[in-house]
Structure 1
Amino acid sequence: MHVVIPYVVGALLFGLGVYGVLRRRNAILVLMAVELMLNAVNLIFVTADVSLRSALEGVVIEAWANPGAAAPGTGGVFTLFVIVLAAAEVGVGLAIVLQYYRMRNAVITDDVRLDAEEERIAG
């Protein structure tokens, strides 16, 4: 398999996620688009790790510059960190969305007011 295919798929997934964040009005769909972008980054991390390791196979590298000696599978480690970050983002994001839904009975992002002071004066 060519190494370009996962990079293109990752770029397409990331672009689809950006489109979802910019165009969607529902907060749940925005969170799903952010998850799509994070998964695209995971795909690129793992692909870059595998492709660079296969490209450097047999190349003698100085001991201080050898990334394989200090941290084997760096792309996988970064991917695990991104998965943990995504789980935390989903937990906090869904809690905020549910609280907002309880207050307003809607999760349309265009109607969210970020200035609470003005809302208290007007309401």
Structure 2
Amino acid sequence: MTRRWPPVILVILLTMTASPALAGPPTGDPARGERLYAGRCGFCHSLDANRFGPRHRGVYGRRAGAVAGFRYSKALASRDVTWTAETLDAWLADPKRFAPGTSMGARTPSPQDRADLIAYLRAHP
């Protein structure tokens, strides 16, 4: 005899055993993102001044390659993209893949680190 599970039990079992990849992106912590930004990004970037890289205040929602006074690589300047959680996540994960030929080489492999950095950047319009 085959045992039939009630649908509610199947939903509970599937929820408990679902892959973390199905759970969606991690929630970002802006305070942790600030520490990561200082340690990983602060050498080349600042919130308010162009350095080796462009300033980041207001990056969330801004068109890529749009900071006045900063000279972008052709690879990034030619991209028609707006910085959102999704585009920033792809950029931080692998800038060279996102915009082949870009001068940005630093990668952030950890999804949680990326989420925290994005939360920090988003908190600075």
TM range (shorter): under 0.3
- State the structure with bigger RCO (CA 8 A, min sep 6), 1 or 2: 2
Per the normalisation by structure 1, the TM-score is: 0.20
Structure whose residues are more often helix by fraction: 1
Per the normalisation by structure 2, the TM-score is: 0.20
